[in-house]
Amino acid sequence: MTDPKATGGHASVDAAYRAESRRVLATLIRLLGDFDLAEEALQHAFRAALEQWPRDGVPDNPRAWLVSAGRFKAIDAVRRRARFDALETEETSMRFMIIVKATKESEAGEMPKEQLLQDMMKFNEELVRAGVMVSGDGLHPSSKGARVRFSGKNRTVVDGPFAETKELIAGFRMWQVNSREEAIEWVRRCPNPFETGSEIEIRQVFEGPELTQNEEILRKEEELRAQSARNAGR
């Protein structure tokens, strides 16, 4: 026996398609700015309506429901494509943290000389022009810092300075390059950060897909990165 609710739902989808499809498409084009993407979104919206309306009933505002369903599908499609593109280029684009190790001079709060600042600025300009530099800064000595030690639910704050100078950090850079070897070559060209001996450590950064394939976590990470970029631009 035919379910009257399902029959009515299918009929409502047909009626909505005849009456609203053009206006829904126009709205999606305006929202998405892409005709092909809007057409795909429109098709998905009506497929979703065929599945849900016979079961859940026709929404009070069918056009708004269709626009929302299509828009969310389009957003998901764009995110998947972006993630796929990122995975495709993963082997040729990776981030590295460049860690400048502390020295007795940096821990004493000694400021770099004018010539070193000029040399470092010139090097940073090269990095920016090459599309390598993402971010970076120098750090105050550990005497102005603190550590928080964790033990189960307990937290203990330890004020600086810290004795193990060779394990401390005086500054950092975040670079995006094609390989570890490229990062090494750039570091070899870096001016010596201190007049005495210096050491710079190179560490590759984990990317989201390396840690998890959970779509929700990856989506949230993308949103947080976008928000962080907006915050940095303030």
Say whether both 106 and 181 belong to one domain.
Answer: yes
pLDDT tens for the chain, residues 1 to 234: 445 455 556 788 888 889 888 998 888 888 878 888 888 889 988 998 898 888 888 888 888 889 888 888 887 777 666 655 555 554 457 899 999 999 999 999 998 889 999 999 999 999 998 889 988 899 999 999 999 999 999 999 999 999 887 789 999 999 999 889 999 999 999 999 987 788 999 999 987 676 777 778 777 777 777 777 666 555
Residue at 234 is within a domain? no
**Rounded to the nearest 5 degrees, what angle is found at the Cα of 97, between the Cα atoms of 231 and 226?**
25
Burial of 210 (0-12, 13-18, 19+ CB in 10 A): exposed
| DSSP designation for 148 | E
Give yes or no: residues 69 and 132 share one domain.
no
Q: Which domain holds residue 8?
A: 4-88
Pair (65, 108) in one structural domain: no
**d(Cα 121, Cα 186) in Å, to the nearest integer?**
14
pLDDT value for 206? 85
**Predicted local distance difference test score (pLDDT) of residue 122:** 92
Does 49 share its domain with 107? no
Does 127 lie in the same domain as 40? no
* Residues 196, 113 share a domain: yes
Q: Does residue 31 sit within a domain?
A: yes
Boundary-marking domain end, from 88, 103, 129? 88
Last residue of a domain, one of 55, 71, 88: 88
In a shared domain, residues 66 and 17: yes
**Is-above-0.85 flag for pTM?**
no
* In a shared domain, residues 110 and 77: no
Tokens of 94: 């990776």
Dihedral angle of Cα 143, 106, 119, 196, to the nearest 10 degrees? -170
Q: Are residues 150 and 62 in the same domain?
A: no
- pLDDT score recorded for residue 1: 42
Domain final residue pick, 67, 88, 109: 88
Same domain, residue pair 99 and 183? yes
Query: 57 and 146 share a domain?
Result: no
Q: How many domains does the chain have?
A: 2
